[in-house]
Amino acid sequence: MTMAFSPPDTSSLERAAYLVGYPIAHSKSPSLHHAIYSAMGQSWGQCLCETTDLEGFLAYLKSDPKCMGSGVTMPFKVAVIPHLDQLTNESKAIGAVNTIFFKTAADGSRIYCGTNTDCVGIRDAFFTNVKGSSYRGKPGLVVGGGGTCRAAIYTLQKFMGCSPVYIVNRDVGEVEAVLRECHAQGMDDDLVYYVSTREQAEQLPPPRAIVSAVPDFLPVTEDEKTARDVLAALLESGDKGALLEMCYHPSPDTEISRLATACGWQVIGGIEAMIGQGLAQASLWTGRDIDDRLRDVARKAVQEAMVSAH
């Protein structure tokens, strides 16, 4: 399906940020950003740009004097990279961009920069919700093999000091692609590896931090059942830590969150990662520090938006 780009109505805003992707009608990101900027006393906001026309959107972004930056979501997190002037270390390592922000060149022209704040959101979800827990030198675990998996591995390693990082996933091809990228980044086999059987899982030191980055589903195929059984084995073993359930739409009450709770793990809702990445975006776009007051404002706004959506 092709959905041509149509400029949003920004007439009520002094400055505007965007979110480009498809489909994104369910996104709570505009609610988050509106709440932050209102709390700053500014008539700024974020507008959804639901389109499959990335080039049309980018042409508009570069011509809009009100624009202060943009969020980028599926299917454009990789496709947008060739259109940007600079990438941060995070976006290079993760191989995806979820945020466009601007710098000013010596001649006054605008430099279009790409970064990935998903990793900041994942980090903040753990650090603001788990008290007094140290992850350094302890295993981490990522469930899934898609784009969020890469951000989760980066977060667990670079920000939280987890070592090694296990991957559990129903699709071995996805895992092999992730491992190839990890090796290309200079990571050794003992830093990130695939756990494919319950027997293997039962022999490993238990993880301390888990990021679940898969949709909510009841396992049906043999591969799905095996992956869920491997996860169960890791949840059942050793000391219990914290699991971040990235899936919160349409509900944060997922098969994996229930399994983790039953095994005695603290479950952190994916809304916390969404808030953290959005706050990092707001800081980049406005140049302002984001404090706990604004975090609370953003959390309340997103929670209210989720309630109203149901």
Query: What distances in angstroms separate CA 16 from CA 9, 32, 96, 157, one per listed residue?
Result: 10, 13, 23, 34
Cα(99)–Cα(306) distance, rounded to whole angstroms?
Answer: 23
Q: Which residue has the tokens 């990890």?
A: 182
pLDDT (tens, 9 = 90+) of the chain, 310 residues, equals 678 889 999 999 999 999 999 999 889 999 999 999 999 999 999 999 999 999 999 999 999 999 999 999 999 999 999 999 999 999 998 989 999 999 999 999 999 999 999 999 999 999 999 987 789 999 999 999 888 899 999 999 999 999 999 999 998 898 888 888 877 877 666 678 899 999 999 999 999 999 999 988 999 999 999 999 999 999 998 889 999 999 887 778 899 999 999 999 999 999 999 999 999 999 999 999 888 899 999 999 998 988 887 6
Catalytic residue among 28, 62, 66, 77: 77
Alpha-carbon distances of 273 from 64, 124, 269, rounded to whole Å:
29, 7, 8
Q: How far apart are the two ends of the chain, measured CA to CA in Å? A: 27
Domains, the chain: 15-116 (3.40.50.10860), 120-271 (3.40.50.720)
Is 77 catalytic? The answer is: yes
